[in-house]
Amino acid sequence: MFIVLAVTLVLYLLWRWYLNGILCGLKSLRGPASYPFIGSLMTCYPVSTLMTRLGDMCNIYGKTYKMTIPWTAGIVTIDLDLVEYILTSQATINKSILYIFLKEWLGDGLLLSKSAKWRLRRKTITPTFHFKVLDQFVQVFNKNNQILVQQLQKSIDKQDGAGVVNIAHYVTLAAMDNIVETAMGTSMNSQLNDQSDYVWATKFMTANIYDHIVNPITYLKATYIFTPAYWKERKALKILKEYTMSLIKSRREALSKENKSTLINNNADVETYINDEDFGIKKKTAFLDLLLQTTIDGKPLSDEDIMEEVDTFMFEGHDTVSAAISFTLFCIAQHPDIQSKVIEEQRSIFANEPDRNITSEDLKNMTFLEMVIKEGLRFYPSVPSIARNVSEDFHYKDIHVRKGTTIAIPILTIHKDPSNFPNPEKFIPERFLPAEQSKRHAFAFLPFSAGHRNCIGQRFAMMEMKATISKVCRHFELGMTNPPHECILPSAVVLMSKNGVNLTIKTRKW
């Protein structure tokens, strides 16, 4: 008994000592109560509403407040000057320990890798997002969006020409097909065959992460293995890794047969590589092909390196895009006046050929739709919060932030802050007119984060979102169900509606 007490006391003192190191610089900040060992973990429950509570706490404790979670102390901030400092400083370029649960899947891919490795990888991978590469992906979007429309048409009632759909279901599969084809160069056809193991595995992995973060039993492998989630996760990881690895192997073989000599180090190489294939029929180049030709200091990337990056694209580039598309379509359905304006713009571009394939020039012309998508992302940022680890102490105003501190930036709360966006619960695309944008703090709108570690795929994402929303709107009139569907938004790494995104569709008369 005595020993147990003594050990507990020692552990407690160690814990206090460790946290005090961090907390002593944060005396001027307020925050929720902290208890021995569990810190402020209690405020995280119920988890389903944590995202909104992070925002509510800003109203109680101020724009920057402190919080302790079992392993570390942290601050949460929506103070835009501090946010700018954090996102542009080298001292906060590493991700927080909260991302650890992604590690098994994404390894040291771009999202998670740390300073030196990240810098090299980011520099190496940036050319693969060259506009010439992205432009050739428009035909992939065209193909899959054609299927998307056909699938949606099936749920239209023949009699009254209308139907209710959970649009998120369809869009998620289309986005899956788009990312698999652009990242890995093969067709998955999940829209026509949604029983695929790979689809199940990505769904499970993304849904599982938040349960992990808030459940202390899962922190240690020794206890995690007693939960069913652990075994499911093992199964999912196996499916994901085997699929990616088999594709890498077969593409590497195919490339060595083609005997291509262009190695990629920069933008000019990417152009040569793409133009190389320009004889006769133009072939698509997937991210994977480019990664296979990429060298760092003359050495090609290993299969494991490539797998990490491809898996990272799969994670970052699939759910985020489908959530944004679903919610934007939902917002369009809710606002008939905005829908008319979207259609007006589409008519000016497609004239009397609503079925024609989209070109990358068309996408550039969709300026109003772009504002609608941005307002959609303001309302429903696919990545609702991000977090960093402090590697070097710094001072900001009257706080002294020690290394080891976790800093959380609740993007959703920033987007709903009336001092950045007056009347934040109103959907107003015109907020993103250039003149309006220039009136705001540059860090007030952060769907793709900002600074050094911003989203590398944002132009790709914008093209895919425009192509898909344009296609759906050209074929269908969107409306609200009766009674109007209300999305339930649980806290998650990627914001998604728990009860679907239901709306009505009717064949549009062009």
Ligand X SMILES: *[C@@H]1O[C@H](CO)[C@@H](O)[C@H](O)[C@H]1NC(C)=O
Q: Of these, 48, 142, 196, 507, which contacts ligand X (CB under 6 A)? A: 142
- Build a one-symbol-per-residue string for 43-82: x at contacts with ligand X by CB under 6 A, - elsewhere: ----------------------------------------
- 3-state SS assignment for residue 387: strand
CB of 45 to ligand X, least distance (A): 23
Q: Which is nearer to ligand HEM, 320 or 491 (CB)?
A: 320
Position 227 contacts ligand X (CB under 6 A): no
Is 376 exposed, middle or buried, given 0-12, 13-18 or 19+ CB atoms closer than 10 A? buried
485 is an interface residue for ligand X by CB under 6 A: yes
Q: What is the Cα–Cα distance from 146 to 150, expressed in whole angstroms? A: 6
Q: Which of ligand X, ligand HEM, none is residue 143 near (CB under 5 to 8 Å by kind)? A: ligand X
Answer whether 273's CB lies under 8 Å from 293's CB: yes
Nearest distance from C-beta of residue 67 to ligand HEM, angstroms: 18
The item of ligand X, ligand HEM, none sharing an interface with residue 115, based on CB under 5 to 8 Å by kind, is: ligand X
Q: Does 97 contact ligand X by CB under 6 A?
A: yes
Q: Strand 406-409 to strand 72-77: parallel, antiparallel, or no bridges (unpaired)?
A: parallel
Q: How far is the CB of 383 from ligand HEM (least distance, A)?
A: 4
The span from the CA of 62 to the CA of 33, in Å, is 15
Burial label, 241 (beta-carbon count in 10 A; 0-12, 13-18, 19+): middle
Count of residues that interact with ligand X, criterion CB under 6 A: 29
325 or 333: CB nearest ligand HEM: 325
Whether the ω angle into residue 46 lies within 30 degrees of 0, i.e. cis, is: yes
Smallest distance, ligand HEM to C-beta of residue 111, A: 4
Among ligand X, ligand HEM, none, partner that 317 touches (CB below 5 to 8 angstroms by kind) = ligand HEM
CB 165 within 8 A of CB 505: yes
Cα(329)–Cα(505) distance, integer angstroms = 11
Residue with Cβ nearer ligand X (96 or 328): 96
Query: Segment 328-387, which members bind ligand X (CB under 6 A)?
Result: 348-349, 355-357, 361, 364-365
Beta-carbon contacts of 479 under 8 Å, excluding residues fewer than 6 positions away, are 333, 336, 503, 504, 505, 506
> Per rule CB under 6 A, is residue 115 in the interface with ligand X?
yes
Binding partner of residue 347 among ligand HEM, ligand X, none, CB cut-off 5 to 8 Å per kind? none
What is the rounded CA–CA span in Å between residue 6 and residue 92? 37
Phi, psi of 160, deg, nearest 5: -100, 5
DSSP letter string over 181-236? HHHHSS---TTT-TT-HHHHHHHHHHHHHHHHHT-GGGTSHHHHTTSHHHHHHHHH
Q: Which of 46, 76, 43 is nearest to 387 (CA)?
A: 76
Distance of closest approach, residue 411 Cβ to ligand X, in angstroms: 20
Residue type, 148: L
Q: Which entry of ligand HEM, ligand X, none binds 365, CB below 5 to 8 A by partner kind? A: ligand X
Q: Judged by CB under 6 A, does residue 166 bind ligand X? A: yes
Minimum CB–partner distance for residue 95 and ligand X (Å): 7
For position 90 contacting ligand X by CB under 6 A, the verdict is: yes
Smallest distance, Å, CB 392 to ligand X? 6
Determine which residue in the list 500, 507, 508, 510 makes contact with ligand X, applying CB under 6 A: 500
CB of 426 to ligand HEM, least distance (A): 21
Shortest Cβ 100–ligand X spacing (Å): 7
- Segment interacting with ligand X, rule: CB under 6 A, options 90-98, 181-189, 422-430, 451-459: 90-98
β-pairing verdict for 476-479 and 502-507: antiparallel
Provide DSSP, 286-339: -HHHHHHHBEETTEEPPHHHHHHHHHHHHHHTTHHHHHHHHHHHHHHHH-HHHH
Partners of residue 67 on adjacent β-strands = 74
Question: H or E element: which one contains 474?
Answer: helix 458-475
Please, what is the minimum distance in Å from the beta carbon of residue 113 to ligand HEM? 8
Which one of ligand HEM, ligand X, none interacts with residue 447, CB within 5 to 8 A by kind?
A: ligand HEM
- Read off the tokens for 419: 């001092």
| In the complex, minimum distance from the CB of residue 485 to ligand X, in angstroms, rounded to a whole number | 6
Handedness of CA 419, 422, 424, 428 (dihedral sign): negative
Binding site for ligand HEM (CB under 6 A): 110-111, 122, 312-313, 316-317, 320-321, 324, 382-383, 386, 447-449, 453, 455-457, 460-461
- CA dist., res. 251 & res. 248, Å (int): 5
SS3 86: helix
Among 93, 110, 167, 505, binds ligand X (CB under 6 A): 93
- For residue 456, the tally of other CB atoms under 10 A from its CB is 19
Q: Look at strands 386-389 and 406-409 and give their pairing.
A: antiparallel
- Applying CB under 6 A, among 114, 238, 441, 498 the residue interacting with ligand X is 114
Binding site for ligand X (CB under 6 A): 90-91, 93-94, 97, 114-115, 139, 142-143, 164-166, 348-349, 355-357, 361, 364-365, 389, 391, 403-404, 485, 499-500, 502
